[in-house]
Amino acid sequence: MKKIIYWFRGDLRLIDNPAFVTACLDSEALLPIYIHHPRNKADTKWGFSKKGSYSQQFLQESILDLKKQLLEKGSDLLEFSGLPEEIIPELIKILGDADVYCQAIEAPEENSDVNLLNKQNVTVKQLWQSSMLDPKDLPFALEQMPDMFTAFRQKIENAKLKFAKPVLPPSTIPPLPDELNQINQNQNLNNLRIDNKKEITVNAADNAELIFEGGETAASLHIEQYFERRLPDTYKQTRNQLLGMDYSTKFSPWLAHGCSSARSIAQRLSQYEKQHGANESTYWIWFELLWRDYFSFLPFKYGKKLFYRTGLTDQLIGKLNVSQFNQWINGQTKDSFINAAMTELSSTGFMSNRMRQIVASYWIYDMGGDWRAGAAWFESQLIDYDVYSNQGNWLYIAGRGTDPRGGRPFNVGKQMRDHDPDGAYRKHWL
């Protein structure tokens, strides 16, 4: 009997999850699992936890929603806490023999998890499913992708490349393996069943206007409402605003946890354009999703170099001034605009794209800070932390990525006059 362990990672969904569908088709018994890696609970070298409470809560909600869906389909989701290289071999020992299927993640920590399994002769079948466009449809090999975003976009647009159709959820899920009781009773496995799981609850600040609930069910609802309310019509005009839920799509937290796929969103956007007509704003949502793809493809060309402290350059890094860093993260700098944004981030786990650019620039260019500490703080705080988008955007602003302009310093005073002329944003958060 062919047994497969399906290892959910950043793909907490059933719709458009080709790796999961393949696992269902290839197996006679299927064990869906999620592993909480200890590194996500540990402190970073910068002295704060790698994952803050907002993203942990969103993750828990997403896992619970997935588990509920799997239970309804006669399956389940087993949650473990520990190292994948210890838990998965232990599971395989109990199952007798099993292959592992999962989503491919092109980032050092996640690649190392898989390498450690391969070293123990565990077969891990990984499928890339994080982008809107399928890498094999691109008009260039990923290793030769254009460095500049504009050239990347133009090649794709000239080739009239479309996203591949999202994959339907599996019609049936193979039964759980017979060894389920042995797994549940195994003392070596830190099996987090609902009854012994510590729930994480955080209450967003009273002045938080953003409501994010994790899970595929909430994702579908949010995305549908965004389109039904005709918000795409005005996206380009509103996307640089700073307050409220409606100025941008707010798809990112669900995309980051894989509760929805970029292809499903692209398909909905395409339907919307057919129904209501395309305009500059609907095009701009594609444009932004293409930025997301661009950053997710860069690791195929540059690999680990993207994670070097110097990025793709040989420029030196400034020393970390701890007291200045604390001012920045706690919203206690000399600049009230920056302070408002940093307060928003630590109170909600979210910040607009415009403010992310401004605070990152302020940390790097006005405070002379180490970009890696800024990126790590974002990773800890953001409810939508995504390894490719966070690393890519920080490298871009710090001038250590592929941008030939070599860095993007923002004039904070000008940005404030342009985007918060009446001080409403500062008043809201300070």
Ligand X SMILES: Cc1cc2nc3c(=O)[nH]c(=O)nc-3n(C[C@H](O)[C@H](O)[C@H](O)COP(=O)(O)OP(=O)(O)OC[C@H]3O[C@@H](n4cnc5c(N)ncnc54)[C@H](O)[C@@H]3O)c2cc1C
Closer Cβ to ligand X, 190 or 281, answer by number: 281
Tell me which residues in 253-272 interact with ligand X (CB under 6 A). 255-256
Single residue of 356, 372, 400, 426 touching ligand X by CB under 6 A: 356
Closer Cβ to ligand X, 289 or 342, answer by number: 289
| Helix boundaries (H) for 35-185 | 53-72, 84-95, 108-118, 149-158, 180-185
Write 270-274 long-range contacts (CB < 8 A, 24+). Answer: 270/163, 272/227, 272/232
Minimum gap (Å) between residue 347 Cβ and ligand X? 16
Residue 402 sits in the site that holds ligand X (CB under 6 A): no
Stretch that binds ligand X, among 30-38, 111-119, 153-161, 252-260 (CB under 6 A): 252-260
Minimum gap (Å) between residue 59 Cβ and ligand X? 14
At residue 99, the 3 state secondary structure works out as strand
Stretch that binds ligand X, among 74-82, 251-259, 320-328, 411-419 (CB under 6 A): 251-259
Residue 248 sits in the site that holds ligand X (CB under 6 A): yes
Minimum gap (Å) between residue 95 Cβ and ligand X? 36
Residue 382 sits in the site that holds ligand X (CB under 6 A): yes
At residue 416, the 3 state secondary structure works out as helix
Minimum gap (Å) between residue 192 Cβ and ligand X? 26
Question: Which is it for strands 99-103 and 124-127: parallel, antiparallel or unpaired?
Answer: parallel
Single residue of 9, 36, 250, 268 touching ligand X by CB under 6 A: 250
Spatial CA neighbour of 380 closest among 42, 15, 96: 42
102: β partners: 7, 126
# binding residues, ligand X (CB under 6 A)? 29
Supply φ then ψ for residue 402, to 5 degrees: -95, -5
Single residue of 49, 234, 336, 353 touching ligand X by CB under 6 A: 353
Minimum gap (Å) between residue 429 Cβ and ligand X? 17
Between CA 245 and CA 359 the distance in angstroms is: 20
Measured between alpha carbons, how far is residue 381 from residues 39, 50, 78, 222, 359 in Å?
A: 15, 8, 27, 22, 14
Single residue of 337, 394, 410, 425 touching ligand X by CB under 6 A: 394
| Residue 275 CB neighbour total at 10 angstroms | 8
Closer Cβ to ligand X, 75 or 249, answer by number: 249
Residue 348 sits in the site that holds ligand X (CB under 6 A): no
Report the Cα–Cα distance between both ends of the chain, in Å, rounded.
61
Query: Residues 282, 233: contact at Cβ < 8 Å?
Result: yes
Closer Cβ to ligand X, 191 or 381, answer by number: 381
Residue 251 sits in the site that holds ligand X (CB under 6 A): yes
Single residue of 128, 362, 365, 385 touching ligand X by CB under 6 A: 385
Residue 78 sits in the site that holds ligand X (CB under 6 A): no
Tell me which residues in 2-31 interact with ligand X (CB under 6 A). none
Single residue of 54, 101, 378, 429 touching ligand X by CB under 6 A: 378
Residue 357 sits in the site that holds ligand X (CB under 6 A): yes
- DSSP letters of 216-245? HHHHHHHHHHHHHTTGGGGHHHHTT--SSS
Spatial neighbors of 262 by CB under 8 A, at least 6 apart, are: 130, 131, 132, 163, 255, 289, 292, 293
Minimum gap (Å) between residue 359 Cβ and ligand X? 8
Residue 420 is classified by DSSP as -
Between CA 283 and CA 232 the distance in angstroms is: 9
Tell me which residues in 275-314 interact with ligand X (CB under 6 A). 285, 288-289, 291-292, 295
Minimum gap (Å) between residue 242 Cβ and ligand X? 11
Query: Interface residues with ligand X (CB under 6 A)?
Result: 239, 248-252, 255-256, 285, 288-289, 291-292, 295, 352-353, 356-357, 360, 378, 382, 384-386, 389-390, 393-394, 397
